[in-house]
Amino acid sequence: MQTIEIALRPKAVEDAAAIRQAVVRSGKIAKQEIGEIIVNRRSIDARGRQPVYRLRVDVYTPEDTIEAEAPVSASYRDVSDAPEVIIVGCGPAGMFCALEMLEIGLKPIILERGKDVQQRRRDLRAIQQFGRVDPDSNYCFGEGGAGTYSDGKLYTRSLKRGNYLKSLQVLVEHGAQPEILIDAHPHIGSNKLPKVVANLRETIIRYGGEIRFGHRVVDLGQEKGGGITSLLVEHEGNRTELRAAAYVFATGHSARDIYELLRSKAIRLEAKPFALGVRIEHPQPLIDEIQYRQREREENLPASSYKLVTQVKDRGVFSFCMCPGGLVVPAATAPGELVVNGMSLSRRDSPYANSGTVVAVELEDLKPYAEHGVFAGLAFQREVEKTMFQSGDGSQAAPAQKLTDFVAGKVSSELNDTSYIPGLHAAPMHDLLPTGIYQRLRQGVQDFGRKMSGYYTDDANVIGTESRTSSPVRIPRDRQTYMHAEVPGLFPCGEGAGYAGGILSAAMDGANVARAVKNYVNF
Ligand SMILES: Cc1cc2nc3c(=O)[nH]c(=O)nc-3n(C[C@H](O)[C@H](O)[C@H](O)COP(=O)(O)OP(=O)(O)OC[C@H]3O[C@@H](n4cnc5c(N)ncnc54)[C@H](O)[C@@H]3O)c2cc1C
């Protein structure tokens, strides 16, 4: 088998005969030596005049036999009678922690405050249409966590943290499109993710694990040495005490009540840097024109994306979670706050392109909030989210400004069309944002306009606020044991604990934590 690279026009990318011809044309392998061809990597190269796909292909000889790899699920076993471990949170971290337990022989019991994917959909509609935010069921809370109704981008910079390909393989085995295994920028989409998540749930249950929806952890019991002895769980107004061999906390970056609970127990937490800013929405054809030099994309070219970064006054300003052909969504987790984020469907075919555009917030920036101690970042986030909410009429309509008016510091007389269903209202974002954030964003978007001609335009809206980029608090853990150093039995996990930033890194962290729990339980 030889691996070579070929380039193809987009319309030919899925055409097996065209791929074979390109391999022959490359002249790298004699025609009679070419048997089966398998694409193992695919990316778009839009640097030249005409965008092309670059494919890395494995070319087998006609004599080779290709053995299919065993599915990951072949190594799951029945864990009904295995030691029980409670996982709090059914996001990617919690679910992949549970799946790993099926391999290593622990029984996962997931407690999730929200609802299953189907019922959750109704609550999302209530936020979109009536501005009603259920603090237990929203874009962040519920089955699949913040990853279910998202863009479903699956790339991560933290490849070293775990088995990236295995996580993708698990998703494919549960219904995700197989292309995610070869695409340089894999993505699933919100129309497919709920089914994948429901299939993951079925696997966990089939092998003896449990998932209890509508179960919110409200308190914990500790022994004298600090170790966790039990959790107090609220379900339909009743409280029950649950015990297990270990407790994984995979509650995500928006579970502020969990941080409060841990602090009330004097469990050590740490403040950590994060980022905050706005979401900027452009027309997708404009971005396509800039990136592909095509206002009407040719067949097989996906909605184009961008990644922008600059430095302003010692702080990074960068685009974050770009959603080509996507929608801006209301991601608040409690009434009285306004938070936006982005999602997309698998086809990424909305006429809009949006991305978070944020400024790095370092601990030294939080001095005015010092009275909140380790929660200084949380207090800052909260204040901005409240200010954004209070600028409106009490609904989830978001404050916004045209990009050029944002830089000029003037309220827009009219706004561009938007994908944001609750609607936008013209507001002085230059006054609503903290000064240090506004000034850096103001300079940052002008820098972006110089790097990407056409980006800086009055056809774009700036929407407030993108505040939940990552957790402002870390639940510290030991590097070797993955356990909180002072609280035996407590395993902080995923994004809420400060050890992941995205679906895939949370999933990989979940799997790592499962193995660490196994060591602890066996000891
Ligand atoms: C709209 C949106 C779009 C996104 N798009 C992408 C994307 O395209 N790609 C990407 O990589 N990332 C994306 N993200 C981020 C990604 O979803 C998160 O990084 C990821 O879900 C973190 O996983 P997690 O398991 O650590 O936490 P979460 O997914 O936040 O899950 C935590 C779970 O814990 C539950 N929980 C909290 N408190 C309690 C409690 N007291 N008791 C019981 N359960 C509790 C919550 O209900 C929640 O379900 C997006 C996020 C949002 C909101």
Task: Verify whether ligand 1 is closer than 6 Å to residue 111 (CB atom).
Answer: yes
Q: What is the mean pLDDT of residues 85-112?
A: 98
- Local confidence band at 38 (pLDDT 50, 70, 90 cut-offs): very high
Q: Is residue 68 domain-resident?
A: no
Helical (H) or strand (E) element with 334 = none
- Local confidence band at 522 (pLDDT 50, 70, 90 cut-offs): confident
Q: Which atom of ligand 1 is nearest to the CA of 496?
A: 26
Angle subtended by helix axes 164-173 and 503-522, to nearest 10: 100
CB 157 within 8 A of CB 185: no
Task: Verify whether ligand 1 is closer than 6 Å to residue 437 (CB atom).
Answer: no
- Are residues 351 and 335 part of one domain? yes
Which tens digit of pLDDT belongs to each residue from 420-445?
999 999 999 999 999 999 999 999 99
CA trace torsion 464, 467, 468, 470 (10° rounding):
140
Q: Is residue 289 domain-resident?
A: yes
Q: What is the mean pLDDT of residues 251-260?
A: 97
Which tens digit of pLDDT belongs to each residue from 81-94?
999 999 999 999 99
pTM: 0.96
- Are residues 115 and 257 part of one domain? yes
Q: Alpha carbon 499 to chain centroid distance?
A: 13
Q: What is the DSSP string of 203-223?
A: HHHHTT-EEEET-EEEEEEE-
For residue 12, the CA-to-ligand 1 centroid distance in Å is 37
Q: Is residue 442 domain-resident?
A: yes
What pLDDT does 155 receive?
79
Task: Verify whether ligand 1 is closer than 6 Å to residue 79 (CB atom).
Answer: no
DSSP 424: E
Which tens digit of pLDDT belongs to each residue from 228-244?
999 999 999 999 999 99
For residue 154, the CA-to-ligand 1 centroid distance in Å is 14
Residue 53: domain span: 2-59
CB 24 within 8 A of CB 11: no
- Are residues 324 and 305 part of one domain? yes
Distance separating alpha carbons of residues 239 and 262, to the nearest angstrom:
18
What pLDDT does 158 receive?
66
Q: Is residue 66 domain-resident?
A: no
Task: Verify whether ligand 1 is closer than 6 Å to residue 326 (CB atom).
Answer: no
Q: Is residue 496 domain-resident?
A: yes
Task: Verify whether ligand 1 is closer than 6 Å to residue 117 (CB atom).
Answer: no
Report the first-to-last Cα separation within the chain, whole angstroms. Answer: 45
Distance separating alpha carbons of residues 403 and 442, to the nearest angstrom:
9
Q: Is residue 373 domain-resident?
A: yes
Q: Is 15's pLDDT higher than 80?
A: yes
Q: Is residue 67 domain-resident?
A: no
What pLDDT does 264 receive?
97
Q: Is 523's pLDDT higher than 80?
A: no
**CATH number of domain containing 123:** 3.50.50.60
Q: Which atom of ligand 1 is nearest to the CA of 95?
A: 25
Sorted by sequence, the CB contacts under 8 Å of residue 17 that are 6+ apart come out as none
Q: Which atom of ligand 1 is nearest to the CA of 323?
A: 8
Which tens digit of pLDDT belongs to each residue from 357-395?
999 999 999 999 999 999 999 999 999 999 999 999 999
Q: Is 161's pLDDT higher than 70?
A: no
Pick from 259, 337, 332, 268: which is nearest to 496 by CA? 259
Which tens digit of pLDDT belongs to each residue from 304-357?
999 999 999 999 999 999 999 999 999 999 999 999 999 999 999 999 999 999
Residues in the chain: 523
Token reading at 414? 């009219």
For residue 372, the CA-to-ligand 1 centroid distance in Å is 25
Pocket test for ligand 1, best of 127, 141, 197, 258 (most atoms within 8 A of CB): 141
- Are residues 80 and 20 part of one domain? no
CB 460 within 8 A of CB 280: yes
Rounded to whole angstroms, what are the CA distances from 504 to 103, 153, 259, 477?
19, 9, 23, 20
- Are residues 287 and 399 part of one domain? yes
- Are residues 314 and 212 part of one domain? no
For residue 174, the CA-to-ligand 1 centroid distance in Å is 19
- Are residues 216 and 130 part of one domain? yes
CA trace torsion 153, 314, 252, 510 (10° rounding):
70
Which 3 state secondary structure label does DSSP give 280? strand
Report the greatest alpha carbon distance in the chain. Answer: 74
Q: Is residue 253 domain-resident?
A: yes
Distance separating alpha carbons of residues 179 and 173, to the nearest angstrom:
12
Q: What is the mean pLDDT of residues 452-464?
A: 98
Task: Verify whether ligand 1 is closer than 6 Å to residue 508 (CB atom).
Answer: no
For residue 320, the CA-to-ligand 1 centroid distance in Å is 16
Say whether the peptide bond before residue 469 is cis (omega within 30 degrees of 0): no
Number of domains comprising the chain: 3
- Are residues 291 and 394 part of one domain? yes
CA trace torsion 464, 139, 484, 267 (10° rounding):
70
- Are residues 202 and 226 part of one domain? yes
- Are residues 433 and 334 part of one domain? yes
Pocket test for ligand 1, best of 279, 321, 474 (most atoms within 8 A of CB): 321
% of the chain exceeding 70 in pLDDT: 99
Which tens digit of pLDDT belongs to each residue from 483-517?
999 999 999 999 999 999 999 999 999 999 999 99
DSSP 33: G
- Are residues 307 and 262 part of one domain? no
- Are residues 122 and 83 part of one domain? yes
What pLDDT does 117 receive?
97
CB 473 within 8 A of CB 255: no
**CATH number of domain containing 40:** 3.30.1660
Q: What is the mean pLDDT of residues 15-40?
A: 95
Distance separating alpha carbons of residues 199 and 170, to the nearest angstrom:
11
